[in-house]
Structure 1
Amino acid sequence: MSRFLALTTSPGFEQRLVLSLAAGHEVQVLSGPAGHQSPADVLSRNLGGPIDVVIFGPDVSVEDWFALASAIDAENPEIVLVLAAAPSSELTLSAVRSGIRDIIDPGADAHDLTQALERAANTAASRRQASVAGAREEQPRGRVVSVMSPKGGVGKTTVSTNLAVGLARTVPMGAVIVDLDLQFGDVGSGLGLEPAHTITDAVRGSAASDSMVLKAFLAPHPSGAYALCAPLRPAEADLIEPAHVAALVHQLSLEFPYVVLDTSPGLGDVVLAVLELATDAVWVCGMDIPSIRGLNHGLEVLRQLDLMPPSSTVVLNFADKRSGLTVKDVEATVGLPVEVVLPHSRAVPFSTNAGVPMLQSGRRDPVAKGLGALVAKIAAGGTVVGARNSRRRVAVS
């Protein structure tokens, strides 16, 4: 719905205007003199919501309307200005210079008048949308934490779900976890959730541009975190493009202080797309040679593509001194320090099967202590303002 403000003292034009407006639009007519008033004086006489279109009637001095139009356009660029007057080349030039968007012939038939008003309403809607989008771009973005592993089966989802739960404790209702393992993700299972909506719903329709609709698709968790789970059917993953996911993550980062991404194994298109937005990378690695080598190769690829997030944390899972490897061996291979070590623990599979993350249950365990240290590190990083520079995106098989 658009709101029109008509400045006219002509009852005939007022009547034609009201009859020509499409359903759903509202118009208010100011019949008193307005030519020598300021924009604030005129707009303050408006009753109701924000004005989208101001129509200057055909019955008052054109020079007065031009002066007022210039002032309104300078102070309220989101408002579309329309002049009702017999068109001429000289008038059109002066009108454009004054910020008037369109000139409509007051004697035009009802169909042409309706089209002109609808055109003005659409232009106003576009201007407001662009204005809101520009304001949102300047808003501080939350931390985007991408939890990754080139190899599967290393406990990445366990780390992701506990990280989201832990961050939600530091900022209640301020953390959201997104399951980006689009075919076989099990964030919902790890959190004990049966969501009514999935990421498939969130990248379609109005949710892609309306944050209020998007939030309605998030599943609340008892810890205070929110979750956006993977599609219910693996085939739905083919319907979700990397650009959809990148837009979704950006949108969530404007609404939440922390966005945790539980990515799929490897470095596919979706992972590379979100890495352009990631402020933090959490690398989960098992204490075995294939997992360590996979992580080393993954890091090399991202360094070559210049896609390494500003902050990286290596989490060594299933740590066991009897494996024949040490933490120093892992560090020497991947070229990064291991900051979080999670030992083998029988409490972890119990927690996973119950759908209750370790940091939610409050269980005292060395793994819970390590996960708590990871949460503290991420939480201590502060808020990142603005988006990172766009980088080259390449699929890695």
Structure 2
Amino acid sequence: MSRFVLITPNQDFAERMKGAVDGALPGGLHTVATAELPEQPEQIFEHLGGTRPAVVVLGPDVPLDGALRLATVFDVRFPDVAVLLAADADAELMLQAMRAGVRDVVSPGVEPEQLRIVLQRSVQATEGRRREAEPTTAESHRGRVIGVFSPKGGVGKTTLATNIAVGLGKTAPMKVVIVDLDLQFGDVASGLDLSPEHTVTDAVSRAAAQDALVLKAFLTLHPAGIYALCAPRDPVEADMITPEQVSRLIRQLAEQFDYVVVDTAPGLGECTLSALEECTDGVWVTGMDVPGVRGLRSSLDVLGRLGLLPETRHLVLNMADPKSGLSVRDVEATVGVPVDVSVPRSRLVSYSTNRGVPVLQAPRRGDKAANALGDVVDRFTPDGAARTRRRVHRRVVVS
């Protein structure tokens, strides 16, 4: 699917546009190498088999009058398609472009990295407009909120959360967001190899709380077709974020996305408890060690007494090793609930984590850890959940 269309005879700019999109932004690029602009948007859609792109870039070296006229037509008839203009702009042209509905004006010499940021923001804007344009029902949309929890660190919680998000992104592209609620030392940004411009601190601001489009602008788009909201860069900022803000943020995101994956801090802090109250699913992660398993049992007992256990619960045994001295039966007997998925210890997972590329972003066939992570994702997709129900009584085996 071509989410980006470029119309220009300028081959150098076309190469830089290709560099900005390929492998970094979801969807492909369709280039029309001509200075002649179509009269109507539908003529562009015909090149894409009748589908509408997210972003249309006009120029450089196209007639400015024609570009502004076409942008005006898009703004009136197809406001959910962002039009960008590549031209040397002075104050007068910027004003004309703004009046014509041009989303942004970039220099013909813009570098691919900067162009990628502009394209990313444009995609975010179009996704928000398209969602607003969808017919509303009497009951407001609420996506599935999947919280990933562990009483202690070092069990691969963030690795699991990022793989869940990337895996869901394959079945629901652009409808998945992962939120890093380990506000002091969160690793979602490094786990996805992102350098976010904005963080949770921006997303809980008053402006974002009052406007869904402002909130969407604070999200970072990942090449796998998911959005990420990363932890603050300065751990001190964590103290400025309240549990009430966390609850409101998750509710806002659940209204805009089909899936909200929440990576929490170890333990049961106030923000973690607030997130739990908003979750439809809780994924508990533990390794095969006695302190971790006992800690999980204590956490579940406390949450049960508080009435904070989500409607649906999933237990994942991570970095499972049959030589650890514990068995799956031992873990289940201690925790008091069955293990749903066992993810074996894997060099591939460690390598992918260090690279910032989740295993499920480009899985290797036959790898047991990748298959197990896929099983976790399946528990949240309609087709996968049906398969899970059919094999629910099969015992998990560590191999």
The one-character-per-residue Cα deviations of 1:274-321 (angstroms, maximum 9, x if unpaired) are 111100000010000000001000000010001110101000011111
- Equivalent in the alignment of 2:317: 316
- Equivalent in the alignment of 1:369: 371
- 1:254 is paired with a residue whose SS is helix
Q: Does 1:190 align with 2:222?
A: no
- Equivalent in the alignment of 1:378: 380
Q: CA, structure 1 residues 381+142, in 2 after alignment: closer, same or farther (shift >3 Å)?
A: farther
- 2:160 is paired with a residue whose SS is helix
Whole-angstrom CA distance in 2 between matches of 1:322 and 1:315: 18
User: Where do residues 108-257 of structure 1 align in structure 2 (5 Å cutoff)?
Assistant: 138-257=139-258
- Equivalent in the alignment of 1:31: none
Structure 1 unaligned spans of 5+: 1-134, 384-397
The one-character-per-residue Cα deviations of 1:79-116 (angstroms, maximum 9, x if unpaired) are xxxxxxxxxxxxxxxxxxxxxxxxxxxxxxxxxxxxxx
- What one-letter code is carried by the residue in structure 1 that aligns with 2:173? P
Whole-angstrom CA distance in 1 between matches of 2:180 and 2:283: 15
User: Where do residues 283-298 of structure 1 align in structure 2 (5 Å cutoff)?
Assistant: 283-298=284-299
- What one-letter code is carried by the residue in structure 2 that aligns with 1:380? P
Question: Displacement of 1:205 after TM fit?
Answer: 2.8
Question: Displacement of 1:140 after TM fit?
Answer: 2.5
Question: Displacement of 1:137 after TM fit?
Answer: 9.2
Whole-angstrom CA distance in 1 between matches of 2:161 and 2:356: 13
Q: Does 1:259 align with 2:260?
A: yes
Question: Displacement of 1:138 after TM fit?
Answer: 3.2
Whole-angstrom CA distance in 2 between matches of 1:332 and 1:362: 33
Whole-angstrom CA distance in 2 between matches of 1:335 and 1:380: 27
Question: Displacement of 1:382 after TM fit?
Answer: 11
Whole-angstrom CA distance in 1 between matches of 2:249 and 2:383: 23
The one-character-per-residue Cα deviations of 1:242-270 (angstroms, maximum 9, x if unpaired) are 10010000000000000000000001100
Question: Displacement of 1:374 after TM fit?
Answer: 0.6
Whole-angstrom CA distance in 2 between matches of 1:155 and 1:275: 19
Whole-angstrom CA distance in 1 between matches of 2:375 and 2:166: 13
Moved more, 340-349 or 241-250: 340-349
- Equivalent in the alignment of 1:282: 283
* Contact persistence 2:141–2:256 (CA under 8 A): no
- What one-letter code is carried by the residue in structure 1 that aligns with 2:289? D
Whole-angstrom CA distance in 1 between matches of 2:197 and 2:355: 20
Whole-angstrom CA distance in 1 between matches of 2:179 and 2:384: 21
Whole-angstrom CA distance in 1 between matches of 2:232 and 2:369: 29
User: Where do residues 67-146 of structure 1 align in structure 2 (5 Å cutoff)?
Assistant: 138-146=139-147
- What one-letter code is carried by the residue in structure 2 that aligns with 1:199? V
Whole-angstrom CA distance in 1 between matches of 2:324 and 2:361: 30
- Give the superposed CA RMSD: 1.7
Q: Does 1:350 align with 2:351?
A: yes
- 1:323 is paired with a residue whose SS is coil
Q: CA, structure 1 residues 323+302, in 2 after alignment: closer, same or farther (shift >3 Å)?
A: same
- What one-letter code is carried by the residue in structure 1 that aligns with 2:225? G
- 1:378 is paired with a residue whose SS is coil
Whole-angstrom CA distance in 2 between matches of 1:382 and 1:321: 27
- 1:177 is paired with a residue whose SS is strand
Whole-angstrom CA distance in 1 between matches of 2:176 and 2:292: 29
- What one-letter code is carried by the residue in structure 2 that aligns with 1:378? F
- What one-letter code is carried by the residue in structure 1 that aligns with 2:184? Q
* Contact persistence 1:136–1:254 (CA under 8 A): no
- Equivalent in the alignment of 2:38: none
Q: CA, structure 1 residues 277+323, in 2 after alignment: closer, same or farther (shift >3 Å)?
A: same
- 1:309 is paired with a residue whose SS is coil
The one-character-per-residue Cα deviations of 1:12-63 (angstroms, maximum 9, x if unpaired) are xxxxxxxxxxxxxxxxxxxxxxxxxxxxxxxxxxxxxxxxxxxxxxxxxxxx
- Equivalent in the alignment of 2:394: none
The one-character-per-residue Cα deviations of 1:134-159 (angstroms, maximum 9, x if unpaired) are x8993131000000000110000000
TM-score normalised to structure 1 length:
0.61
- Equivalent in the alignment of 1:268: 269
Whole-angstrom CA distance in 1 between matches of 2:300 and 2:383: 22
- Equivalent in the alignment of 1:306: 307
TM-score normalised to structure 2 length:
0.61
- Equivalent in the alignment of 2:45: none
The one-character-per-residue Cα deviations of 1:341-375 (angstroms, maximum 9, x if unpaired) are 01111111110111100000222321110110011
Whole-angstrom CA distance in 1 between matches of 2:384 and 2:349: 29
Which has the higher Rg, Structure 1 or Structure 2?
Answer: 1
- What one-letter code is carried by the residue in structure 1 that aligns with 2:238? A
Whole-angstrom CA distance in 2 between matches of 1:148 and 1:348: 19
Whole-angstrom CA distance in 1 between matches of 2:335 and 2:142: 30
Question: Displacement of 1:333 after TM fit?
Answer: 1.0
Question: Displacement of 1:335 after TM fit?
Answer: 1.3
Structure 2 unaligned spans of 5+: 1-135, 386-399
- What one-letter code is carried by the residue in structure 1 that aligns with 2:315? V
Whole-angstrom CA distance in 2 between matches of 1:171 and 1:296: 33
